[in-house]
Structure 1
Amino acid sequence: MTIKEQLAVRAARVEDFLVLCMRDRGIPERLLRSMEYSLLAGGKRLRPVLMLSWAGLLGSEGVTDRIMPFAASLECIHTYSLIHDDLPAMDDDDLRRGRPSNHKQFDEATAILAGDGLLTEAFGLMSAASIVNGLPADRVLRAVFVLAKAAGAGGMVGGQAVDMELTGCTDVPLDDLRTMHAMKTGALITAACECGAILAGAGDADVENAREFGRNIGVAFQIVDDVLDVVSDTETLGKPAGSDEAMGKSTYPSLMGLEKSKSLASDYVEIALTRLSGYYGAEQEFLWQLARYIVDRVY
C-alpha cells in the first residue's frame, strides 16, 4: 500500500472509535449534532495515528487498543481548536474540510459550546485509558500532564493568541513565526508522539526520540501548510486557499519564498528521521514514510 492508503487505514480505526465515543453521555441533541458535525467531518487523523504508531513501535502487543480512547482525545482537542479558530472573532473562515464551518452550519453560540464540549470530553477519554482499559495510572497521569500543557495557554491556545497579535504586522521576525507555530501547531503533534511513547511504558531515551521526532515534523507540517495555502486551491484544501495572505498573516513563504520554505521543511523532516534510525519493523517504516509524505504533499 502507498503511505496515503496506510494512513487512511489507520485513520479509519480512529474514525470507528470516534463515531461512538460521544454517544450515551447525556449530551443535548443539538449540541451533540454540532460536536459530531465537526468531529466526524473527515481528516487524516494525523495526531491520533502518530500516538498509536509510536505506542505500537515501543509497546507490547495490544497496547494500541488500550490507548485508543487517549488517541481519540487528541482528535477531540484538535477539532475543538478548528471550530474556535474558524469563528468570526478569530480567523473568520466559512469553510472547513470542504463544508460550512460549524458556526455557519449551526450558530456562533452552539459552535463555541461544541468546542468547549469536545475539549472537556477529551479529558474523560484520556482517563478511560486507565479506568476502562486498565492502562497503568502513572503512565496516563504523565501523558495527561504532557497533553494538557501542549494544548493549553503555553501551547496551542497561546499560539493562537500570538497568531492574532501578529496578524496584519509587517516584518515579523522568522524566530517569532517559528515560536508561534511551535505553539499553535507543533505542540499538539509533538505531544501525540511523546504521549504514545509514555503510554507504551517506554524509557526516557525512547520518549525523547518520540518527542523530537514530533517536534521536527510539526515544524515541517506547518511550513507545508503555509506553502499549500499559496499553491493549492480551495477544493483540494477543503478550506479557503489564500486566506493567510488575505488576512495579512506572516507565513514561511511570505518571509522566505516558496522554494526556501520547501527546502526548510525537507530539512526538518531529515532531522526527524534521525530519531527513527535505531528502530525496526512495520511501525518504524510507517513513521518514516509518513514523515516523508508530509513534505511530498507540495511536490
Structure 2
Amino acid sequence: MKILVTGGAGFLGARLIEALLAPTASDLLPPDASLVSVDLAPCPIDDPRVVSHTGDICDPVFIKSLIGPETSLVYHLAAIVSGQAEADFDLGMRVNFDATRALLEACRQQGQAPRFVFASSLAVFGGPMPEQVPEELAPLPQSSYGAQKAMAELLINDYSRKGFIDGRVCRLPTISVRPGKPNAAASSFASGILREPLAGEASNCPVPLDTRMWLSSPQTVVDNLVHAARLDGQALGLRRTLNLPGISVRVSEMLDSLARVGGEAARARVSFEPDERIQRIVCSWPGDFDIQRPLQLGFRGDADFDSVVRAHQHSMNH
C-alpha cells in the first residue's frame, strides 16, 4: 500500500505528509505502508516511511514510474501558482494541466482506481457572481491559473465517471497565514500583510480594503485534505468538486484582526500601494460560498479570523 503526494516538498505538501504520518491517520497510512513525496526538491520530513523522489512532474515517463498497483491514494498538490501561471502561460499549462493529465493517465493504466485528491482553487470562478456562490455555479475563470485548474477538474470528474480513479476535487480557500517568504501567488499578500507586520517588518496591501477574501488557516486546510481521502466516493455522487469551508472576510477586517492580535504598531507597518496586475486576478475571485454540502460531509472551517492570526503568532514564538 502506497500514498503518493505531488508537491511534497512544498509548504502545504510537507504539512500534509506530517498529518498522514500521525497515528490519527493510520487508517490511510498503516504502519507497513509507504508514502512517496514527489517534487523538484527532497521532502523535508525525516521519516523512514517517506520515500522522496525529485523530478519533473511534466515528464510522463517519470510520473509513470511512480504509480503502481500498490498506489491506493494520490494527492496532487504540485502546481505553478497564480501569478506565475499568468505571466508564463506555457509553463502554467505544462505543470497545471498537462502534468495532471499525465498523472491521471498513469493511474488509469494501472487499472486499480486509486483515490485521487486534487487541490483546486476558488480561482476557477470569475465574472458576474452572486454575493454568496452556490455550489452549482459554473466556473468562469478570469486567469490562466483558474482556467488550468478548471480543466483539470473536468478531467478528474470524467476519469471518476469512467471508473479510472475515485476522485475528489478540493477547491481550497486562500491559505492565510502562510509562514515563510512571499511567493509568486497573486494572493501572497493575504499572508504578507499579517506575517511580516507580526514579525516587525513592513508589508504592502495591493488591493482595495473592501476586497472580500475566502480564507482558511493552514491547519484547517490540511485537516480537510486528510478528511477528503476518507470520504466514500458514493457520498459525492456525480459532483466530485467541493468548495472547502473558509472564512469570508474583507481585507479591512483582516487588518482589524492584525491590530487586535499584534497591536496598532503592527497594523501601522502595512502600506497601501495598488497593483493592477494583482487586483485583476484577486478581485475576480468570489469572497463567500455556500458550504452546506461540505459541512454535511464532515469538512470544517476555522472559528473566526482572530483565532487564525493568533495561531500564526503562537507558531512564531514556538
TM range (shorter): 0.3 to 0.5
- Normalized per residue, the structure richer in helix is 1
TM-score normalized with structure 2 length = 0.33
